Structure formats: C-alpha cells, structure tokens
Structure 1
Amino acid sequence: MTDRKHELAANLAKVEQRITDACAAAGRPRQDVTLIVVTKTYPADDVRILSELGVRHVAENRDQDAAPKAAACSDLPLSWHFVGQLQTNKVRSVVGYADVVQSVDRARLVTALSKEAVRAGREVGCLLQVALDAEEGGRGERGGVPPAGIEELADLVAGSEGLRLDGLMTVAPLSGEYAGRQQAAFEHLMDLSTRVRRTHPAANMVSAGMSADLEQAVAAGATHVRVGTAVLGVRPRLG
C-alpha cells in the first residue's frame, strides 16, 4: 500500500469513527448518514484511491477541475456531486458528469439544468442551496436561496423535465443570526426540509456539515455530510 493510500485510509477511518460516534450520540443508525468526500483541488489519483477504499460519493466545486477529473475516473463506481456556485455557462459541462447538483439557488439555473439534462438524456438530482444568512431577502454570501423562496423554487425543480428534487443543502453561515451556531443553523434547515417534504415527500436529502461541524449536522438530522480536509488533508494553495 502506498504512503498516500495509508494516509487516506487512516483519515477515512477517523472520519468514519466521528460519524459513527455522532450517530450514536443522536440515537441514529449509522446507515442514516452518507459521507461525501470533497475532492476539490486534489488529483484524480486521490479519487481513485478513495474509490478503492470504499468511498462512493465525491464532490467538486469548480467545473474546470471537476470535468477532466470525472472523465479520468469514469470507470469508477462513483456518484459525483457538484457543490459550488454554478454559472449557467457551465451547466452543459456539469450535467455531463454530475449525478447531483447541490447548489441550485435560482430559477434561471433550474431552466438551464433542465434544458441540458433533457439534451443529454440524463436525470440530474437537485438540492436547493439554502442561504440561512439571507433571511431578509437576497442571496447569502456563499450563494443560496433565502428560506422564503424555497417552496417556489422546489416546485419549479419538481416540475422541470430531466430534474429530480432531492432535498436541501446549506453551508453554516459566517455572519448573521447563525454565525458560530452551526447546530441551530442545521436544525433550522431540518425544519425547512420538513416543510418542503409536505409537498415533495421524496425530497428527503439534507446535506449539511463539513470537516469542522459534521457532528452538529448529524445531531440536527443531516442525511449527508461533505468532508474534504479531514479526509484529504489541508488543501494545496491554488495559484
């Protein structure tokens, strides 16, 4: 086993233990929570190692990095999640490899995703990215739809050909009411998820929590956690 494989295996084991412990503390079965490894800035070789170690979900946030990486790993049994802010001019490329787009935050993006999914003959899962720091209108600093706009956007996704409404996603806000209160933020997301599921019962995916706050996300009820640094190490600086 290579040094890098040893390193990733050890890191994965630590993250797995954290998720297991968090589930136990919350009284949830371990299988309720899916780990998505965020592989942004890391090479296809690392993705290949992760696949060998049993990882089945990976995430990227920049199409220019993700598209060639996904192509290089197209033989692997992986689900690719796109988690970055998505410009409409990148939608055609992203629809080519992403199984789930977790950052759907506006009607124009839904229209573009639907058009390209139909063109490609694919069904693309969609999570609405919720901006919990945008309660009073507007988008949050990390993108996202304000809570007041969720139901309208959910209806739009659910009614769009080629798209599947899977649920909600958020990033713990850096400012506003929930700054430094990750668990409260994630609990609010769960309340919003309950509201969406009244109309769209299959939209039961809740993506929240990263390396620093996955325990709070699991405690709140998240179904998916997105972990990068704790598995792959501190990211190399981008030039």
Structure 2
Amino acid sequence: MSRKDEIAENLAKVQEQIANATKSAGRNIAEIKLIAVTKTFPVSDLHFLYELGIRDFGENRDQEAILKTAELPKDINWHFQGQIQSNKLKSITNWASVIHSVDQFRYAKLISEFAGGQSRGIFIQVSLDEVPESRGGVDPSKILQLANEISELRNIELLGLMAVAPLQDKPANAFSRLQRYQSALLEKMPNAN
C-alpha cells in the first residue's frame, strides 16, 4: 500500500469516527472541523492530506511550522496547538490563523498587537487538572474574566474553550466539565463558539 493510500484509509476511518460521535451526541456534522495535527510528519504527508481535501493543519513547533507553511498552498488554515512561549508569539502569529492555547491576557494582547490588522482566532485553554494551571490553562473560575478582557482586543476572535485531558481523571469526566464551562461562556458571549 502506498503512503498516500495509507493516509487516505486512516483519514476515512477518522471521518467515520467523527460522523458516529457526532450522531450519537445529536450534533450537526457541519459544526465539526477536523484539524490534522501534523507535527513531526513530513511535508509530503501534508500534501497528500491537502489532495484529500484537508485544509486545517495543526502544529506545535514554530520552526517546523514555518518550513511547512512555505511549502504548502496558501489557502490552508494553520493552527498553533502548543504551550505558548512569549518570545515565539510574534512568529507564531505570522503563520497561525488560530491559536489554541491562550491562558493569559498578556498572550492575547501580544497576538492582537502582532496580528498586523488581520484577525486571529483564539481558544482559551482551561485547566482541568485538580491543581489549576499545573500544566497550562486558566483556572475555570477565571474563564469569564479572561474572555471579557479578550473581547476588548482588536484583531482577536474568541472561538471558544479548549483543554488537555488531565492525567488523574477520566477524559469523559474532564470534557464533560469543559462542556459545562463552554455552555456558561456561551450564555454570556454567544459568538464564542
């Protein structure tokens, strides 16, 4: 089997899993966006995914992403999905249209400044750990405060919340809490979805 066929087969399986999960959750498949996390994979794999219709790619290493963005079509939506380092944020803002791990207002403010008049989507990273902020993420009690501060910035579109499953809890329990936090945020800020 060729590498392209292998990728196509794996992509079809993932899309089927998404369709099944969407159906069982009573959600509309149009609400779901598949982001191919491509860190450490060669550019050739990304070309295959692009040919298969994928337009959203996620990276967590700035230098690797810079090389990949230079070699791929310009209609790709690049997502940064790693811990933010303020010294790399200007570079990340140059290539990423969406940044998934904002847990401090100062990072959102820098993204707004570095965006150069172009809109950047961000997700607030929420800590689901028992000890808040131990692996990144804002304490759940501070979500609304951070969201309100972010909403005042230019060039920023708050897209919602994200989290990394904690080590000490079942992922389903943790993401159930995240869903409650997202619902509470949407009551106050309906566009943060």
User: Shorter-chain TM-score: which interval?
Assistant: over 0.9
The aligned amino acid for 2:112 is S
Q: How does 1:74-85 map to 2 (within 5 A)?
A: 75-85=73-83
Distance, in Å, in 1 between the alignment partners of 2:27 and 2:184 is 21
Aligned residue among 100, 106, 109 for 1:108: 106
Query: CA shift at 1:127, angstroms?
Result: 0.3
- What SS does structure 2 have at the residue aligned with 1:50? helix
Partner of 1:126: 122
Query: CA shift at 1:130, angstroms?
Result: 0.6
The question of 1:43 aligning with 2:42 is answered yes
Query: CA shift at 1:140, angstroms?
Result: 3.0
Partner of 1:67: 66
Partner of 1:5: 4
Query: CA shift at 1:16, angstroms?
Result: 0.9
Distance, in Å, in 2 between the alignment partners of 1:196 and 1:82 is 22
Alignment deviations for residues 113-149 of structure 1 (CA, whole Å, 9 cap, x no partner): 11101xx221100100111105x54x132x1111011
Q: How does 1:81-230 map to 2 (within 5 A)?
A: 81-117=79-115, 120-134=116-130, 137=132, 139-141=133-135, 143-175=136-168, 179=169, 181-204=170-193
The aligned amino acid for 1:127 is F
Q: Which runs of 5+ in 2 are unaligned?
A: none
The question of 1:52 aligning with 2:51 is answered yes
Alignment deviations for residues 176-233 of structure 1 (CA, whole Å, 9 cap, x no partner): xxx1x211211111111111112211101xxxxxxxxxxxxxxxxxxxxxxxxxxxxx
The aligned amino acid for 1:114 is S
TM-score (norm 1): 0.77
Distance, in Å, in 1 between the alignment partners of 2:147 and 2:181 is 11
TM-score (norm 2): 0.94
The aligned amino acid for 2:118 is R
The percentage of counterpart residues that share the same residue type is 41
Partner of 1:23: 22
- What SS does structure 2 have at the residue aligned with 1:96? helix
Distance, in Å, in 1 between the alignment partners of 2:86 and 2:58 is 19
Distance, in Å, in 2 between the alignment partners of 1:195 and 1:15 is 30
CA distance 1:27–1:194, change in 2 (3 Å):
closer
More contact order relative to length (CA 8 Å, sep ≥ 6): 1
Query: CA shift at 1:76, angstroms?
Result: 4.3
Partner of 2:32: 33
Distance, in Å, in 2 between the alignment partners of 1:188 and 1:34 is 21
Equivalent pairs counted in the alignment come to 193
Distance, in Å, in 2 between the alignment partners of 1:77 and 1:112 is 25
